[in-house]
Amino acid sequence: MPTFWSNVKFLSIAGVGLFADGYLNISIGLVVPMIGYVYYQDDKGTVPTVSSDVIKGGLSIGMIIGQLMFGLFGDALGRHKIYGKELILTIFGTLMLIVMPPKLDHSGVVAWMTVFRIITGMGTGGDYPMTSSISAETDRFGSRAKLVLTVFSFIGLGSFSSGIVYIILLAAFKGSIYDAQWHIQWVWRLLFGIGLVPCIATLYARLTMKESKPYEKYVSKDTGLVGKDKRGLKEQFADFRVYFSNWRHARTLFAVSFCWFLFDIAFYGINLNQSLILTQIGYGKGKTPFLTLWHTAIGNIIVSCAGYLPGFYVAIFLPDIIGRVRQQFYSSIVVCILYAIWAGVTNHVSTGGLIAIFTISQFVLNLGPNATTFLIPVEVFPTRVRGTAHGIAAASGKAGAVLTAFAFGTITEKIGLSGVLGLFSGIMALCAAVTLLIPETKDKSIEEIEAGVVFGEAPESQGSSEMDVSSAEAVKITGDGKV
């Protein structure tokens, strides 16, 4: 039975990548205004909207690449061989941001930050399929869902921490910033640097983590990893093709991916609205660059505390009580209703009312689909395709986030905020409907998931089922790699 301290150690090692995702995702929103004050002093101290969007979008593009790549390699080569490599990319990309030359023209700043944000995103994105798979395949807490979602909650903790660190740094450099605006650069460089400390501290532990028992039992021993034959990408592609040629499996992959895509459109769309709400309660721009940055920092902490972070922690306990599918379905319906109400009253209610609706919707979003879209893909599929499937689902979600980031401003101009909220309401209703295509994994063990019980498949028939022939065996049938 794992001890308390061994559990803490595991959470620290597994959670650090997702902590970095939350920290670095939020940090860029805090850093871009500082970049403007340092590198765009000849342009009113503001990074142009297009350049800002490109810089911010770089991480999401990198995450899509990392989610697909590390999910595939994690299944093909094993968790042990791949885990930690994604953290190296995160560290390298962020270090290069920290050392960005102090004298660059506008195009140079955009190019430098975008390229290394993409590399950073590849690392943080790769953490999704790798950490979720390892967590689901680790016997701790007495509950797979609680462990996976506890690790996932580190994203919220990272987001909250970035705001706290930012405030401390601003307070420390207040006098220096008032003396010379150029000194703002030390705040954002240190902000990124401090976020790397836990990553560097746990890198060795990740690189030396043992292979998961389910992977050893159901994949490596079945496909020759411990013998002469080696499992690789060819075998993994064969496994994937054979498994998802079953329409029930393919339908479920579509459902979990499409739900994540829809959810992220609404989730990131609402997050883009935070500035409107924060401005109304007095946390928009200030009279000086320092006050603007200070208000932004306070505003981000308000957002984290107002439903965002509490939702993560409540979500941990719900899957084992009501089930994953019900948790996602009913919370999506509630958010759909809240957005519809918000759309109807947005121009007829006080600031306090807007904050209340915003807080409740953030809370329900995070205790519902934000948690379950991460949990379900790593539970519903067997070990040999678990990372690949989770990577596809996660990349689908991030594609929704990218779509929102680049289309939100234009759509808002066309139909207004009320129209956008109505659109998001419909999207969450569709998310709830698609959720009904997903089988329930509550009370199902890894062995049952492996046997296809969640799809109504008889465990005893799995050994002879064509759909479950291992890739190594399938390759040997023809000798030419064709199944």
> 274: helix, coil or strand?
helix
- Specify the DSSP element, H or E, that contains 418: helix 383-435
Question: Would you say 169 and 307 are in contact if contact means Cβ atoms under 8 Å apart?
Answer: no
Structure tokens that stand for 280 in this block: 């109304």
Query: By C-alpha distance, which of 313, 319, 327 is closest to 444?
Result: 319
Residue 190 structural domain: 4-478
316/372 Cα distance (integer angstroms):
10
Q: 377 near 396, Cβ under 8 Å?
A: no
User: From the DSSP assignment, how many helices (H) and strands (E) are in the chain?
Assistant: 22, 0
CA distance linking residue 311 with residue 368, whole number of Å? 8
The per-residue b/e assignment along 340-350, b for 16 or more CB within 10 angstroms, e otherwise, is bbbbeebeeee
Neighbours of 352 (CB within 10 A): 10
Residue at 63 is within a domain: yes
Say if 301 falls within a structural domain: yes
Residues 209, 84 contacting (CB under 8 angstroms): yes
Question: How crowded is residue 7: how many other Cβ atoms within 10 Å of its Cβ?
Answer: 15
Digitized pLDDT (tens) for each residue of the chain, 483 residues in all = 678 888 999 999 999 999 998 898 878 877 888 888 888 877 677 888 788 888 888 888 999 999 999 999 999 999 999 999 999 999 999 999 999 998 888 899 999 999 999 999 999 999 999 999 999 999 888 899 999 999 999 999 998 999 899 999 999 998 888 887 788 889 999 999 999 999 999 999 999 999 999 999 999 865 544 444 578 899 999 999 999 999 999 999 999 999 999 999 998 887 766 666 666 556 666 677 778 778 777 877 887 787 889 999 999 999 999 999 999 999 999 999 999 998 888 777 777 777 788 889 989 999 999 999 999 999 999 999 999 999 999 999 999 988 887 787 778 788 887 898 899 999 999 999 999 999 999 999 999 999 999 998 766 444 333 334 444 444 443 334 333
The answer to whether 384 and 249 are in contact (CB under 8 A) is no
Distance separating alpha carbons of residues 31 and 52, to the nearest angstrom: 10
252 token code pair: 């479920």
Contacts of 435 (CB under 8 A, 6+ apart): 255, 259, 325, 328, 329, 332
Residue of 28, 29, 48 lying closest to 39 (CA atoms): 48
Torsion region of 141: left, alpha or beta (phi above 0 gives left; psi -120 to 50 gives alpha): left
Q: Is residue 155 part of a domain?
A: yes
Q: Is residue 408 part of a domain?
A: yes
- CA 189 – CA 180 distance, rounded (Å): 16
Pair 78, 225: CB distance under 8 Å: yes
Q: Which segments of 163-264 are extended strands (E)?
A: none
* Both structure tokens of 13: 């090692």
Tell me how far the alpha carbon of residue 334 is from its chain's centroid.
22
Burial tier of 445 (Cβ tally within 10 Å: 0-12, 13-18, 19+): exposed
Q: Half-sphere exposure (CA, 13 Å, Cβ side) for 178? A: 8
Q: Which of 393, 350, 395 lies closest to 375, judged by CA? A: 393
How many structural domains comprise the chain? 1
Axis-axis angle for helices 4-39, 85-98 (nearest 10): 30
Is position 483 within any domain? no
The domain that holds 13 is classified in CATH as 1.20.1250.20
Q: How many residues in the chain? A: 483
